[in-house]
Each structure stands twice: as C-alpha cells, then as structure tokens.
Amino acid sequence: MRVVITGGNRGIGLALARHYLEAKHSVHATARDVAKATALRSLASDLLVVHPLDVRDDASCRALGQALGDAPVDLLINNAGVGRAASGDPGEILAAFDTNAVGPVRVTRALEKNVRAARGKVLFISSVLGSIGESSSGGMYAYRISKAALNMAGSILAHELRPAHVTAVLVHPGWVRTDMGGPSAPVPVDVAASNIAALAAKLTLADSGRFLNTDGSEIPW
Ligand SMILES: NC(=O)c1ccc[n+]([C@@H]2O[C@H](COP(=O)([O-])OP(=O)(O)OC[C@H]3O[C@@H](n4cnc5c(N)ncnc54)[C@H](OP(=O)(O)O)[C@@H]3O)[C@@H](O)[C@H]2O)c1
C-alpha cells in the first residue's frame, strides 16, 4: 500500500509514518522544513520518501502532486494542522482556516489523480472540537471554526469522489499526547496512530462522508 501523510515530522503524523513503515508499507511523509525533520528522517527506510509541503501554499501542494506523478495512492491522510489558540483574533482565525480547512482541500485536489487511480481512501484528521452538535462551551474560535469548515470540505469531497470509488472520511483521533494535545492528554501518540490505521483499514465506500471516532462510532456534525 502507498500512504501519503501530511505533517509527518512530529505528533500524530510522525507516529503514523512509523506505524505504516513498521507494517512495510510505502510511506510518503511531508514536512514544512525537511532539513529540520530529523525524527522523521531518522526513520530512514527504503520505503520512506520525505517531501517538503506547506499546506497553505498552492505551489507547494501542486509540487507534491507532481512529485508523486501517476503513482496510485491507496491512503491519503490529511493530518497537518494547527492548534488550539484561545483568542477570537480574526487574523488567527483566518490563518487556522487556511491551514486546517483550505490546506486539506489543496492537498486532496493535488493528489486526486493518485487517489482515484488506486480507488483509495482519504482521511481528514478533524476534531470533535469542530462538531457543532457537541459544542457546549465558548472559546478556541480559530481551531473550532476551522475544523467545522474542514468537516464540510471533507463531506463535499466525499460526494465528489464517491463515483470514482474513493472513500473519504473525517476522523477525530481522540485527545492525543502531542505538542498540540499537551502532556495531560490521555491517548499516547502511538496508540492514536494504531487506532487511526485500524479504522482506515476497515473503511469501505459505504462509510464515505462520515465523521467518526477511531472506534468507528459516529460524531454529530
Ligand atoms: N493532539 C490532539 O489531541 C488532537 C485532537 C484532535 C485532532 N487533532 C488533529 O490531529 C492532527 C495532528 O495533530 P498533532 O496533535 O499531531 O499536532 P502537532 O504535534 O502540533 O503537529 C502538527 C503537524 O502539522 C504540521 N503543520 C502545521 N501547519 C502546517 C502547514 N501549514 N503545512 C504543513 N504542515 C503543517 C506541523 O508541522 P511543523 O512542525 O512544521 O509545524 C506538524 O507536523 C491535526 O490536524 C490536529 O488538529 C489532534
């Protein structure tokens, strides 16, 4: 299987890269600054290719598509994201929106040909914090608005890709111990990666367009 993981240099993305390499899959992992992505590059393997990618940059997303050429991609994991700034500063909201909602659209568009070629799967790593149905508090404008928008983006792409037998799903990974999740998060990052991979393996076209926890249970939009 060929897997593409954005934001592969730390956190959940790095753990996913490690997970799929250990399972002997071909992994294309991205980092904004490849030179500084030492943890990712230290996974050195014939099965690993590290690509530069800034999901806020159209040209960078197109370059990733060009680097992959016509190679079929079985699994695209749109994982790169920015975190939990608390304020409602409009600039901060727009920046998070660009990364968390528009970025995965740029990347998925750039790799659409590859995913279609494999009749593959696209995961959007979203968050329960983007669920309007589960919303019970104020705050975290930038993150929550951007993840709610990501959910709609994923839903649109799921509809558009379904005729090509591509399965696209929004996933909440749990509260995970990473730079973003912080030290109090209950889920270790390697467990989150295994959970995401287990869910991905089970998904079928019938799941496309759903918003799920890693145990497969539905999250309200
Ligand atoms: N941790 C949690 O509890 C939790 C819960 C729900 C959802 N999530 C979601 O899970 C995903 C991964 O989170 P994480 O906890 O692993 O976060 P993290 O440790 O902060 O890592 C974020 C990753 O995204 C990359 N990134 C940020 N902006 C980018 C950009 N413009 N272009 C390309 N890459 C960019 C970062 O690269 P740099 O190193 O260059 O910054 C890094 O590799 C995110 O989408 C997050 O919203 C996390």
Query: Kindly report the CA angle at 170 between 164 and 174, in degrees rounded to 5?
Result: 150
- pLDDT of 81: 98
Q: What is the DSSP letter of 85?
A: -
- pLDDT of 155: 98
- pLDDT of 220: 96
User: What share of the chain has pLDDT > 90, as a percent?
Assistant: 95
Rounded CA gap, 110 and 23, in Å? 26
Any atom of ligand 1 within 6 Å of the Cβ of 12: yes
Rounded CA gap, 195 and 128, in Å? 16
Average pLDDT over residues 162-175: 98
Among 82, 172, 189, name the best residue to mutate to test ligand 1's pocket (greatest count of ligand atoms within 8 A of Cβ). Answer: 82
Rounded CA gap, 18 and 192, in Å? 12
Average pLDDT over residues 72-76: 98
| Minimal-distance CA residue to ligand 1 atom 5 | 175
For each of the domains in the chain, give its residue range(s) and CATH number, in order of start: 2-213 (3.40.50.720)
Provide the pLDDT confidence category of residue 198 given band limits of 50, 70 and 90. very high
Distance from Cα 8 to the centre of ligand 1, integer Å: 9
Any atom of ligand 1 within 6 Å of the Cβ of 54: yes
Per-residue pLDDT of 20-53, as tens digits, reads 999 999 999 999 999 999 999 999 889 999 999 9
Average pLDDT, the chain: 97
Any atom of ligand 1 within 6 Å of the Cβ of 173: yes
123 bridge partner residues: 77, 169
Which residue would you say has higher pLDDT here, 127 or 86? 127
Q: Find all residues with CB under 8 Å of 220, minimum gap 6, and list them.
A: 131, 132, 133, 134, 211
Residue 84 has pLDDT above 80, yes or no: no
Distance from Cα 163 to the centre of ligand 1, integer Å: 30
Q: Return the ligand 1 atom nearest residue 33 CA.
A: 40
Average pLDDT over residues 155-165: 98
- pLDDT of 88: 86
Rounded CA gap, 169 and 203, in Å? 9
